[in-house]
A and B are shown apart, each in its own frame.
Chain A
């Protein structure tokens, strides 16, 4: 049975200026132990997708479609049942380690909380388990650290605590929303490696969100490239990186620093800015920034071309795009 099957997920946020379509007709699935990467520029709806999976979207929002966790639609769950899923079968690590822990509780208390809630552990058992978890995520001297408050820890250590907290109940799915974006580059790799190791040791499925194509290519089995709230390119990681096709994915690739690149080499950029969610174009959302755009791109949403069973691209000018190198499209 597919562990997680998301079908036609559409998220509309109520804003002061009117409804904003943050995510549109997004579909993807995840098997046990599999790692899915979601990649895209800032504001393309990655966090909204993650929060929708956890049913933690802002109150003034509307979610359509289906989020099937082992065939049960989470969107039909009662709040009480969702509380039994969150932190227990599905857990999340957030983008901002500095502010994601409660400043008035010790880290021990915060790691113990889900254990007591979902596993029904008593205080002593939860304490012992929290010590084990803190040790596992590489917090030095957990016996002393367990009594620390978040402000006494560095950003990297706080993210480790968040990981301990998220893994505490052995969830089936871990969602890591840009877990390293806010951290020092030297720590980023350590944290990613830690997540990878823990996930594979426990056989968990991972949804890794990033705006860094490099991180995604190294750490995932499957990829979902998002732009303006929808999927533009999906498939198995090796297949996609073997043949990057969508003009947007090529743009992300062109904008990525590469090995052997000179220190002063200029990185290419995708011209323009992400679309305004209030007035999304009728056709392709990438239309106004796309080097291959033609007139019908503006008017009709792009068809999905299945290049092979493990690689699909949503683009009108697929024939143009195939075989193009990123440096041919972006300078």
Chain B
């Protein structure tokens, strides 16, 4: 088990290094000079040159990359070009919105997936199954920003049950914040939940055909007991994999959905930073998002080994 974790940890570090390089390169290639954007169209060449030097942007790319990474290793994200404050100050507040939003969404989608997937599998090819799979197909096809707009129209504007957007801040109370995040979470969870529901259904149906399920029944276990004690755990293995993969899609989704709901999370922050050519903020936030995805997959890998004992034997 420890070898298993150590190996995964090494992969994790290698992936992070790779990701940081790609992010840095993309920002290098992206057109637009931060100094020019900050100073505006009336700036003289001398002023631009002076600011470029002040921001350290005149130094060669490898050096700047190293400054960024070595800073990160010491817990420093650098200073925002546009706001002249430490990047971490901008990121910290946003993080405490995006992470709860992502967690709420993934929990919602798993609950949705298990209820729908298990029900559909139990009513295989009957009306309930067909209807639910039809809905899930719809759920997968609907873009999350459009669903977000529909939800705002229905629940905020028509029914007035939820705020149409914005975020009160955690010091205004836990409950109001959760309420504010609920519609965004639903818009994010719908697609992922629909995908996971379909995987759950097909996985459960597949496991039902396994010989060991017949063995379980031959012991005298009821259908229901067999489902909970023998089918579910095996069926969850592919669901887990897809959950890990979908988590990155979900995080990408937050960028869009946060902007629709005017929620000051990482998604809003990164979009503003791109407009400002605040390269250093963009780089740090994107790397942070990448880290979250990689960490999730790391956790999924470990969960994998917990669910499936066969993996522990093959980890060397």
Contact = CB atoms under 8 A, between A and B. Distances in A.
Contacts of A99: 210-212
Contacts of B210: 99
A118 to B, nearest CB: 6
Nearest to B307: A104
B28 interface: no
Interface string A40-64: 0000000000000010100000000
B215 A54 contact: no
A173 B120 CA distance: 37
Contacts of A80: 222
B162 to A, nearest CB: 41
A104 B222 contact: no
Contact of B220 (A85, A101, A105, A151): A85
Interface string A140-163: 000000000101100000000010
Interface stretch (B11-19, B194-202, B308-316): B308-316
Interface string B210-233: 111011111111110000011001
A84 interface: yes
Nearest to B230: A102
Contacts of B219: 86-87, 91, 113-114, 117, 165
A94 interface: yes
A165 B219 CA distance: 8
A100 interface: yes
Interface in B104-134: none
A101 B219 CA distance: 12
A85 B234 CA distance: 26
A94 B221 contact: no
Contacts of A113: 216, 219, 221, 229
Nearest to A84: B220
Contacts of B217: 56, 86
Contacts of B221: 83, 87, 113, 117
B313 A151 contact: yes
A113 B219 CA distance: 8
B192 to A, nearest CB: 25
A92 interface: yes
Interface in B10-56: none
A92 B220 CA distance: 11
A177 to B, nearest CB: 10
Interface string B272-316: 000000000000000000000000000000000001111001000
A88 B220 CA distance: 7
B218 A103 contact: no
B215 to A, nearest CB: 5
Contacts of A152: 313
B309 A92 contact: no
The residue among A80, A104, A105 with the most chain B CB atoms within 10 A of its own CB is: A104
The residue among B211, B212, B218, B223 with the most chain A CB atoms within 10 A of its own CB is: B218
A96 interface: yes
A151 B309 CA distance: 9
B222 A100 contact: no
A254 to B, nearest CB: 33
A189 interface: no
The residue among B223, B229, B309, B310 with the most chain A CB atoms within 10 A of its own CB is: B309
B212 A86 contact: no
B218 A56 contact: yes
Contact of A103 (B214, B216, B220, B310): B310
B235 to A, nearest CB: 10
B212 A103 contact: yes
A94 B211 contact: yes
Interface string A100-141: 111111000010011001100000000000000000000000
A79 interface: yes
A94 B214 contact: yes
Contacts of B215: 94, 100-102, 110, 162, 165
A83 B215 CA distance: 13
A101 B230 CA distance: 10
Nearest to B208: A59
B309 A103 contact: yes
Contacts of B230: 102, 105
A136 B288 CA distance: 58
A67 to B, nearest CB: 15
Nearest to A83: B220
B64 to A, nearest CB: 50
Contacts of A94: 211, 214-215, 218
A103 B222 contact: no
Contacts of B234: 102-104
Nearest to A109: B229
A113 B225 CA distance: 11
A109 B302 CA distance: 23
Contacts of B214: 56, 94, 100
A85 B219 CA distance: 9
A10 to B, nearest CB: 22
Contact of B212 (A100, A118, A166): A100
25 contacts: A54-B218, A56-B214, A56-B218, A80-B222, A83-B220, A83-B222, A86-B218, A86-B219, A94-B211, A94-B214, A94-B215, A99-B211, A101-B215, A102-B216, A103-B212, A103-B234, A103-B310, A104-B234, A104-B309, A114-B219, A117-B219, A117-B220, A149-B310, A151-B310, A152-B313
Given A79-B223, A105-B230, A151-B313, 5 more contacts: A56-B214, A83-B222, A92-B218, A102-B234, A165-B219
Interface of B: 210-212, 214-223, 229-230, 233-234, 307-310, 313
Interface of A: 54, 56, 79-80, 83-88, 91-92, 94, 96, 99-105, 110, 113-114, 117-118, 149, 151-152, 162, 165-166
Task: Rank and list the top 6 A-B pairs by shortest CB-CB distance, nearest first.
Answer: A87-B220, A87-B219, A99-B211, A86-B220, A102-B212, A149-B309
